[in-house]
Structure 1
Amino acid sequence: MKHPLFIKLFALAAVTLLLLIGLALISDVVHDRQRYRSLTAQSVADSLAGPQTLMGPLIHSACVESWDEETGKGDERRMVERRREFLLTAMPEQLKLRSGAAMEERARGVHKVNTFNLKAHITAEWGSLASLQPQSTVKNSRMHCGAPIVMMAVGDARGIRTAQLTLGEQALPLKPGTFHPTYSRGLHAALPEAVRGKADGLTATLDLELVGTERIAIVPLGGNTEVQMTSSWPHPSFAGRFLPSEREVKPDGFSAQWRLSSLATTAQADIAGGSRVCVSGYDDASAPGEYAPGGATPRDCADSFSVAFVDPVNPYTLSDRATKYGLLFIALTFVAVGLFELMKKLRVHPVQYLLVGSALCSFFLLLVSLSEHLPFGAAYGIAAAACVLLLGYYASHILGSLARGLPLGAGVALLYGLLYVLLQLEQTALVVGSIALFLVLAAVMVLTRKVNWYGLAQGGGASPAARMPKTQPLPTPSEAA
């Protein structure tokens, strides 16, 4: 063969292409498992209750203003009744919520979903209820209003386990629904007509037990809103328009506190105007809330804040991130084998490169399959150990000795260790990976600094200076004679 190096490089390129196809198939498997996990979460939410949003308590009253209006001319004149329907609302001046969330794990097959059982004690205080007094907009109109209703809206009413409402010292019977045109899911109680326009205010307390899936959001409706939340879950994700003013996260759980003023939020005006509730999702994504249309923008949404009970060691997310390093793994391992082949003057067949790359690809498939049944760290260790042992054993044969196979196996083990560190890092993964790649490149350049690449392309390994003919000294006159 005239150019064996180019033929070898072409064969290795074909092998790499085949391995890339294998990595793409493995990545598709990971994405499929992620989709199945999402379907599992949706299945649990469909059977139990979905993510929850708490909004209220608030008082509203539906009113109708009607009046007679003359239309037509001459003999065709007649009186027509006109109507205007509107909703009066009274937001609490003080809103306090004390809650504790106990976590419960639900599963469908190998997929697990975090659900919570929230027990909340809510106190709402209203000052003057003058906002419940209807104001006429047409002279001599007739006004009719329904009974004032105190309501509490939730994201998924199926999650309500128990609820008890007390107005002052009097317990009020609760009924399903809210009679609100926008926020229909929840519970309500009818108030006596005497509270309309009451000047000395009103105080209501609500004890609520609510279950849901993965996330709880709260709308700060009070003139001053105070929320305290505790849970045994050690990995909360705080999101929404407001972060906690105080929080403490420990291995055995977290506690958080929000203190908000109506000067800092437009939630009261948003809810009074019928704005939708949109909840910022977890995993850095924005998801429509329970009442939000799919195309809602932040301007269309009422203010809220939320806590997501996320799993920081999501095996599918970590497996997907690991698979993205697959090409780098293959390239570095091929470089290591090529260096042995070059420095020790060995010959490694492209099929052997293909087998080495296939072993590297199998690691990612082992990782995602084992992590469904074992903790991610244990699954990673088992998959990495199996591949390192296999590659070390195989390399000792293709490279001619155990002394050459062991360093290659150790190098692959180092790569797996580096990958595990990168998977645990979030903010510094890029800089650590860049430095490691630079060090690998520097090591390759140092080891190959004396290689005659032109000689390799021509089938020889000598340097150009070594192959140049030596200059012969000119003969002396006596030698010439």
Structure 2
Amino acid sequence: MTTNQSFFQSNTAKIIMVGLLTLVLLIPLQYVKSLISERAHRQEGVINEINNQWGSDIYFCGPILKVPYTTYTETKVTDEKTKKVSISRTVHTKYAYFFPEKLNIDSNVETKPLHRNNYETTVFNSEMNLKGNFIQPDFTDAEIAEKDIQWEKATVVIRTNNNLKSIDGAINIKLNNKEYSFEPVYEENSRSLLTSLETKAIKSIDIAKSITEFNMNISYKGSEELSIAPIGKVTQATVSSNWHTPSFGGNFIPGDKKITDKGFTASWNISQLNRPFTQQSFGVLPTVRKYSFGVKFLIPVDEYQQNERATKYGFLVIGLTFLIFFLIQSFSKINIHIFQYTMIGLALIMFYTLLISITEHSSFQLAYIIAGVSVVVMIGLYSISILKGIKFPLFIAISLSALYTFIYVIIQLENYALLVGSIGLFLILGAVMFVSRKIDWNNTHKINS
């Protein structure tokens, strides 16, 4: 006697249950993604703490010549009794700022990694040498009389990070071979993220009648980024470092650069014509940080980012693995219970927890190999008990290995990740269509009883 299969024994019902299980497994996969985000956030917090203790990103603007001058405000005052009008005169002191005519900067940056627990960041020591000159300050455009210029109170100013502990040692400047030291200036009610350092009055130099040559050195302890403001009428800068993966940022890219496995050298040549501010300013020192240039010292591929990219393919891995088991089940007529599909799906998700936990104690590549081999072996051995043979489990192990290798290649690629991924998925879809073409989806066969 023969009877037709019930709906729940049909291929349609089985594929619906497997599809629903795949969607259910997205829940623990999402928890894994949350775990990676949490660990990445913790890494960011630890790195920020290390960087703040060592020294934050570096910004340098200077040297700048600062010359005070006197202005007057006149107001009319009327006597209520006599009705006479008199003029009240108030004296104010303002400041004029003059940028260098020539500014040559040579910076050598020595980077090194710092570790705390499982986390790593890159810090550096920067030795910066600056040379150049100031021409005679010109107050003509501001229509300020010579008698109102306070030449004897002129100083030199530099602007840098608010975090002064980044500065290593004292800062001195030589003006026409006479040395002056910088001191921090307290700026009341300042909301700026920058701090001014200023010399005492340079009374011994006649800046009004001669070109003033300067030479100064400054040492910084910093992290992540070094940026410099191009305030010279002609600014020439060179940055060299042992860091082999620099990222050049800011408003200007280097005109000449050389990058090797041992480090890099980059040079900039910036004219006054390349930026939208003049060589002098009256009243307020302009903010020029957004026109700065520099280099970032960042680890190019963060391991948590690689883990996050790997989990994005979790749905693909689960779906394709279930599809392989379903096709084998359809051809071999071996019944695979939904519980067994669940165990296989959980093993696939364990790959990502193994990956992130091992990555924190080794490289991403080694962690990927260990996690991948572990999951492939586990599912392969489990398949032997399910499929009662070695042929199909061996095929499953090879297919999983190829899939994990394909995903690893995509993760490592940047410019061609989308192209390679799209071609790979297209080929996988073609293979599935070819293999599944002989499956009896109508379930016309009978079951003998």
Q: 1:218 corresponds to which residue?
A: 228
Letter of the 1:2 counterpart? F
Q: 1:333 corresponds to which residue?
A: 321
For 2:370 and 2:312, locate their aligned partners in 1 and report how far apart those are by CA, in whole Å: 20
Cα shift readout 1:338-371 (whole Å, capped 9, x = no counterpart): 1111122221111111111111111111111111
- Aligned equivalent of 1:21, options 20, 27, 51: 27
Cα offset for 1:146?
A: 7.7
Aligned-pair identity in percent equals 25
For 2:148 and 2:160, locate their aligned partners in 1 and report how far apart those are by CA, in whole Å: 34
More displaced stretch, 398-407 vs 111-120: 398-407
Cα distance change on mapping 1:54 and 1:33 into 2, 3 Å:
same
Q: 1:101 corresponds to which residue?
A: 109
Does the CA contact (< 8 Å) of 1:151 and 1:187 recur in 2?
Answer: yes
Cα shift readout 1:72-131 (whole Å, capped 9, x = no counterpart): 476454544445554311111111111111112223321111111001111131122224
Does the CA contact (< 8 Å) of 1:148 and 1:191 recur in 2?
Answer: yes
For 1:267 and 1:39, locate their aligned partners in 2 and report how far apart those are by CA, in whole Å: 37
Does the CA contact (< 8 Å) of 2:98 and 2:281 recur in 1?
Answer: no
Q: Where do residues 261-276 of structure 1 align in structure 2 (5 Å cutoff)?
A: 261-266=271-276, 268=278, 274-276=285-287
Higher relative CO (Cα under 8 Å, sequence separation at least 6) belongs to 2
Q: Does 1:52 align with 2:58?
A: yes
Cα shift readout 1:196-239 (whole Å, capped 9, x = no counterpart): 65243111111111011111111111111111111111111111
Q: Where do residues 9-408 of structure 1 align in structure 2 (5 Å cutoff)?
A: 9-72=15-78, 75=82, 77-82=85-90, 86-131=94-139, 135-136=143-144, 147-155=153-161, 156-162=163-169, 163-177=171-185, 184-193=194-203, 195=205, 198-266=208-276, 268=278, 274-276=285-287, 302-408=290-396
For 2:374 and 2:87, locate their aligned partners in 1 and report how far apart those are by CA, in whole Å: 90
For 1:103 and 1:197, locate their aligned partners in 2 and report how far apart those are by CA, in whole Å: 39
Does the CA contact (< 8 Å) of 2:7 and 2:13 recur in 1?
Answer: no
Cα offset for 1:336?
A: 1.1
For 1:269 and 1:107, locate their aligned partners in 2 and report how far apart those are by CA, in whole Å: 44
Cα shift readout 1:270-290 (whole Å, capped 9, x = no counterpart): 987655455xxxxxxxxxxxx
Cα distance change on mapping 1:324 and 1:184 into 2, 3 Å:
closer
Cα distance change on mapping 1:193 and 1:30 into 2, 3 Å:
same
Cα distance change on mapping 1:121 and 1:460 into 2, 3 Å:
farther
TM-score for the superposition, normalised by structure 1: 0.83
SS at match of 2:334: coil
For 2:277 and 2:314, locate their aligned partners in 1 and report how far apart those are by CA, in whole Å: 47
Does the CA contact (< 8 Å) of 1:61 and 1:87 recur in 2?
Answer: yes
Cα distance change on mapping 1:386 and 1:85 into 2, 3 Å:
farther
RMSD: 2.8
Does the CA contact (< 8 Å) of 1:153 and 1:183 recur in 2?
Answer: no
Does the CA contact (< 8 Å) of 2:69 and 2:148 recur in 1?
Answer: no
Letter of the 1:213 counterpart? S
Cα distance change on mapping 1:142 and 1:204 into 2, 3 Å:
closer
Does the CA contact (< 8 Å) of 2:74 and 2:87 recur in 1?
Answer: yes
5+ residue gaps, structure 2, are 1-5
For 1:113 and 1:327, locate their aligned partners in 2 and report how far apart those are by CA, in whole Å: 32
Cα shift readout 1:278-304 (whole Å, capped 9, x = no counterpart): 5xxxxxxxxxxxxxxxxxxxxxxx301
Letter of the 2:7 counterpart? K
Cα shift readout 1:1-54 (whole Å, capped 9, x = no counterpart): 334334323322332122101111111111111111111122123322211111
Q: Where do residues 447-462 of structure 1 align in structure 2 (5 Å cutoff)?
A: 447-455=435-443
For 1:276 and 1:380, locate their aligned partners in 2 and report how far apart those are by CA, in whole Å: 48
Does the CA contact (< 8 Å) of 2:152 and 2:202 recur in 1?
Answer: no
For 2:432 and 2:17, locate their aligned partners in 1 and report how far apart those are by CA, in whole Å: 21
Q: 1:2 corresponds to which residue?
A: 7
Does the CA contact (< 8 Å) of 2:102 and 2:233 recur in 1?
Answer: yes
SS at match of 1:185: strand
Cα shift readout 1:231-261 (whole Å, capped 9, x = no counterpart): 1111111111111111111111111111111
Cα offset for 1:134?
A: 6.7
SS at match of 2:273: coil
SS at match of 1:190: coil
For 2:400 and 2:281, locate their aligned partners in 1 and report how far apart those are by CA, in whole Å: 58
Cα distance change on mapping 1:143 and 1:70 into 2, 3 Å:
farther
Cα distance change on mapping 1:357 and 1:84 into 2, 3 Å:
farther
Cα offset for 1:416?
A: 1.2
Does the CA contact (< 8 Å) of 1:67 and 1:141 recur in 2?
Answer: no
For 2:141 and 2:167, locate their aligned partners in 1 and report how far apart those are by CA, in whole Å: 32
Letter of the 1:415 counterpart? L
Letter of the 1:223 counterpart? K
Does the CA contact (< 8 Å) of 2:12 and 2:441 recur in 1?
Answer: no
